[in-house]
Amino acid sequence: MADKKQKAAVNAPVKGSVPIQPENDPMGEMRELLQRTQAQFENYRKQTEKRVIEMEQMASKQIIEQFLPIIDNLELALKNKCDAKDEFVQGIELIYAQLKTLLADNGIETIKTTNELFDPYFHEALMKVESETPENTIVEEFQKGFMLHGHVIRHAKVTISAGKKEQ
- Per-residue pLDDT tens digits for 58-74: 777 777 888 888 888 88
- Asked if residues 153 and 135 have their Cβ atoms less than 8 Å apart, the reply is no
CATH code (residue 154):
2.30.22.10
In a domain, 97, yes or no: yes
pLDDT exceeds cutoff 90 at 45:
yes
Q: Pick the residue with more confidence: 146 or 84?
A: 146
pLDDT at site 22: 54
Please write the tens of the pLDDT for every residue from 112-136.
988 889 999 999 999 998 888 888 8
- Asked if residues 70 and 48 have their Cβ atoms less than 8 Å apart, the reply is no
Are 115 and 160 in a shared domain?
A: yes
What is the domain extent for residue 123? Answer: 109-167
Confidence of residue 21 (pLDDT cuts 50, 70, 90): low
All residues at 6 or more sequence positions from 92 whose CB lies less than 8 Å from its CB, including other chains:
74, 77, 78, 81
CA–CA dist 156, 153 (Å, integer): 10
Local structure of 136: helix, strand or coil: coil
State which of 1-15, 50-64, 118-132 shows the largest mean pLDDT: 118-132
Short-list 156, 115, 155, 123, CA closest to 139: 115
Are 133 and 148 in a shared domain?
A: yes
Are 90 and 101 in a shared domain?
A: yes
Please state the domain count of the chain.
2
In a domain, 115, yes or no: yes
In a domain, 149, yes or no: yes
Edge-first strand order for the sheet with 151-154 is 108-110, 146-148, 151-154
pLDDT exceeds cutoff 80 at 11:
no
